[in-house]
Amino acid sequence: MSTTTKGKRSGFHLTSAQNRRLWITIFLAPWFIGFIIFLAGPMLWSLWLSLTNYDPLVPNTAFVGLDNYREAVADPKVQTSLFNTVFFAVIYVPGTLLSGLGLAMLLQGVGERSGGFFRTVFYVPNVAPAVAVGALFLLLLNGRDGLVNRGLEFIGIQGPSWLNDSRWIKPGIIAMMMWSVGTTVIIFYASLQNVPKQLYEAAAIDGATGWQRFRNVTLPMISGSIFFVLVINSIASLQLFTEVYAMFFGQQPSGAGSEAALFYVIYLFQQAFEFFNMGYASALAWLLFGVIGVITFIQVKTSKRWVYYEGE
């Protein structure tokens, strides 16, 4: 039995139960260590920092209570960045949901074999590194000769100045992010494939129209995926950073994007690493955590009303 393995550990003897416990510990050890060093520990540390005026270059760190949070709430940049972020999320999340679902249904109509191919094609933009996507769209979105506006001109529309007009910067960013809708398409496509065919057949026999079938069969059957996409994309969109930072921030010269494209995590990053106001930035991080928590909580709570789980 299991005694053979213990032969190596001459000197002391493990019972089978002890041996089992030892192995459980070994298997889970990476997670425990990582959890303490890279998750729980940092979170507590960050919570503490948010109550201080910590700056790595200043030797005396003082406890300032909730001052950072108070300052953040009154900070006009926080308001700007929060507005930008919410603006983005409110359009991007439903936009991805709808277009992702639309494209997935389009793929379903192609038949399974080719559907798989086009699914791959639709996913290709997601393969490009975010920073390269940012660089690419700096070129594509040029208001004069960019590919996007050339395309629009082709169908008779004069495109706006996506990079220099503060009113059009966020729409341009939304368009850029929607280009990577492929992930959502894949999730919905997989989910659509799993809808039992009999349900459609049964609905057809009952004389249901296309819309009714969609409304009464498809939607409930994929509501779990919709919910999942909704939650994941909401969280991700509130943390939008890389593409936009690559385009408008870092050592890029100041322009209309400095304000119109200032998203929350970008401002947080600036405070933390460009100005080294780490106490304040920690407070910003926890505020974000709070906002994401509340939004996710609401989504989970309301989901009970419309998400259909098999077996319930």
Partner 1 sequence: MRNTWRMVSVGVAAAFVISACSSGSSSGGDDDNDVNSSASPTETTAATGATSATSATTGDATPGEAVPASGELFAFGFGYDTGDIIAQTRVDEFREANPDVDLTFSEGGFDSQGFLSALASDDPPDLVNVPRNELGTYVARGVLAPLDECIATHGVNMDDFYEGASSQVIVDGTVYALPEFYNSRIWIFNDAAFEEAGLDPETIDVSDWDALADASVALTRMEDGKVTRLGLDPKLPEFLPIWAHANGVDLISDDGLTAQLDDPAVAEALEYGNSLYEPAGGLTDFLDFRDTWDFFGPGNQYATDQLGGMPMEQWYLNVLAEASPDLEITVRALETRDGEPFTYADGNSWAVTTSAANPEAACAFAASMVSVDSWVAAAQARDDERAESGAPNTGVYTGNAVADEIIFNDIVDLSDQPVFEAAVEVVLDIQQYGFGTPPSPASAEFKAAWEEAANQVLNGEDAAQSLATAQAEAQDAIDSAER
Partner 2 sequence: MSTAPADVDTSGLTAQPKSERTPAQIAKRALFLLTLAFFTVLFIYPLVWLVFASLKPPDEVFSAGLIGSEIRWENYTTLFDLAPIPRWTLNSIIVTFLAASSVTVSSAMVAFGFSYFRFKGRDPLFYSVIATMMLPGAVLFIPKFLIWDALGLNNTLYPLWAGNLFGSAFYIFMLRQFFLTLPRDLFEAANVDGASYGRMWWSIALPLTKPALVVVFILEMKVAWTDLVGALIFLRDPEKFTLARGLKAIIDNPSVGLESRWELLAAGSVIVTLPMIVLFAIFQREFVEGIATTGSGGK
Residues near partner 1 (CB under 8 A): 56-58, 76, 142-145, 160-161, 163-167, 251, 253-256, 258-259, 273-276
Where helices occur in 111-140 by DSSP H, the ranges are: 112-127, 130-140
Q: Are 123 and 185 in contact (CB under 8 A)?
A: yes
Cβ-proximal residues to 73 (8 Å cutoff; 6+ apart), any chain: none
Of 97, 255, 256, 258, the residue at the interface with partner 2 (CB under 8 A) is 255
Q: Residue 61 binds which one of partner 1, partner 2, none, with CB within 5 to 8 A depending on kind?
A: none
- Which residues in 66-85 contact partner 2 (CB under 8 A)? none
Q: Are 125 and 180 in contact (CB under 8 A)?
A: yes
Q: Is 209 in the site for partner 2 (CB under 8 A)?
A: no
- Which residues in 3-32 contact partner 2 (CB under 8 A)? 3-5, 19-21, 23-24, 26-28, 30-31
Token reading at 129: 């590194």
Q: Is 226 in the site for partner 2 (CB under 8 A)?
A: no
CB of 88 to partner 2, least distance (A): 15
Cα 169 to Cα 173: distance, rounded to the nearest angstrom: 6
Q: Which stretch binds partner 2 (CB under 8 A): 74-82, 209-217, 242-250, 303-311?
A: 242-250
Residue 122 vs 137, nearer CB to partner 1: 137
Q: CB neighbours (10 Å) of residue 218?
A: 19
Cα 35 to Cα 259: distance, rounded to the nearest angstrom: 37
Residue 216 vs 242, nearer CB to partner 2: 242
Q: Residue 230 binds which one of partner 2, partner 1, none, with CB within 5 to 8 A depending on kind?
A: none
Nearest 10 degrees: CA dihedral of 109, 111, 115, 116? 150
Q: Is 124 in the site for partner 2 (CB under 8 A)?
A: yes
Cβ-proximal residues to 212 (8 Å cutoff; 6+ apart), any chain: 203
- Which residues in 84-123 contact partner 2 (CB under 8 A)? 103, 106, 109-123
